[in-house]
């Protein structure tokens, strides 16, 4: 369970860094570039991916490229979501995105649907509606639209990425860690290209502080994945325990940090949403 705790800590630190980016005038897009450089280096250092036996003709290159585009794009959306809607709602949207691959499994792969699974999914979607900050400002204002749009993009984006990762994991001709290294490397290349274009067009300027922030971001982003994988290796016969404990831990930790560190205000319905989120994940754990 220590690996789950370490993964939760790394995950929350990433959210905190994104939250602090605006306060210290950090460019999230620039930080993301160096984040993937560090993640690539650490993945190579820890897992020593091998490329000698790769059959590139059958490898899911298209999925690699799509993930390489989606990952940095979603990172930017995560930063905007944390900035405009808070760490609690962003983490909830991120964690509850698990319902997208679940629905895909039930509807496309025809996995049997039990009563507990149906109840858990229903409560989860109600929890998402409850965590949207409807109470802040009228929806006709632009700010109010962003208040629910960013968490929605996080929810959908994370769900799609999870489906792609499941496809990568199903490609048995290539080790998952090697695929992860390739994806990080592709993401870094795409992010660097975008950054160079932005600098040459005068839309942004290179700042050393963004490099340092990106290094820190990359360490904890990689740590989140590393300890999560180690938790699954430590409990190979109980993946649902790892997944459920991870999600519940992040929701609780995110709520505590958002409220007590950043003084975020939650309405009663938001608090109900957090409770329902935990309840939904617990029910799905029982359904497994």
CA distance 147 to 203: 26
Give the number of domains in the chain. Answer: 1
Closest CA to 158 of 253, 37, 247, 280: 247
> Any idea what the Cα angle at residue 166 is, between residues 108 and 251, rounded to 5°?
100
The radius of gyration computed from the CA coordinates of the chain, to the nearest angstrom, equals 19
| Cα–Cα nearest to 135, from 123, 147, 120 | 147
| Most confident by average pLDDT, 34-43, 50-59, 71-80, 262-271 | 34-43
Residues 229 and 169 sit within 8 Å (Cβ to Cβ):
no
Q: Residues 12-35: pLDDT tens digits?
A: 888 788 778 777 878 878 888 899
Separation CA 153–CA 27 (nearest Å): 20
Give the domain extent around 45: 2-287
Reported pTM? 0.72
Each residue's pLDDT tens digit, 95-153:
777 777 767 766 776 666 678 777 877 887 787 777 665 555 443 445 556 667 888 89
Note the pLDDT tens digit of each residue in 50-66.
Answer: 777 667 777 788 888 89
């Amino acid at each position: 369970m220590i690996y789950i705790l370490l993964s939760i800590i790394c995950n929350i630190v990433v959210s905190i860094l994104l939250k602090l980016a605006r306060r210290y005038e950090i460019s999230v897009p620039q930080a993301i570039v160096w984040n993937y450089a560090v993640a690539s280096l650490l993945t190579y250092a820890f897992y020593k991916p091998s490329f000698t036996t790769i059959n590139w003709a059958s490898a899911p290159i298209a999925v690699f490229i799509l993930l390489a585009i989606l990952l940095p794009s979603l990172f930017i959306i995560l930063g905007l979501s944390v900035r405009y809607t808070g760490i609690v709602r962003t983490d909830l949207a991120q964690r509850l995105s698990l319902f997208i691959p679940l629905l895909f499994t039930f509807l496309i792969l025809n996995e049997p649907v039990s009563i507990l699974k149906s109840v858990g999914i229903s409560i989860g979607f109600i929890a998402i509606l409850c965590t949207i900050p409807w109470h802040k400002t009228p929806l006709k204002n632009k700010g109010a639209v962003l208040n629910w749009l960013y968490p929605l993009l996080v929810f959908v984006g994370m769900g799609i990425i999870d489906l792609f990762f499941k496809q990568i994991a199903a490609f048995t001709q290539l080790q998952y860690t090697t695929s992860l290294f390739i994806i990080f490397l592709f993401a870094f290349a795409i992010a660097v290209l975008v950054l160079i274009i932005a600098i040459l067009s005068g839309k942004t300027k290179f700042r050393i502080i963004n490099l340092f922030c990106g290094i820190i971001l990359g360490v904890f982003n990689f740590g989140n994945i590393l300890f999560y994988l180690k938790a699954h290796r430590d409990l190979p016969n109980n993946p649902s325990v790892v997944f459920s404990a991870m999600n519940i831990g992040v929701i609780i930790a995110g709520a505590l940090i958002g409220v007590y560190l950043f003084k975020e205000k939650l309405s009663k319905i938001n608090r109900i949403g957090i409770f329902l989120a935990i309840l939904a994940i617990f029910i799905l754990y029982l359904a497994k």
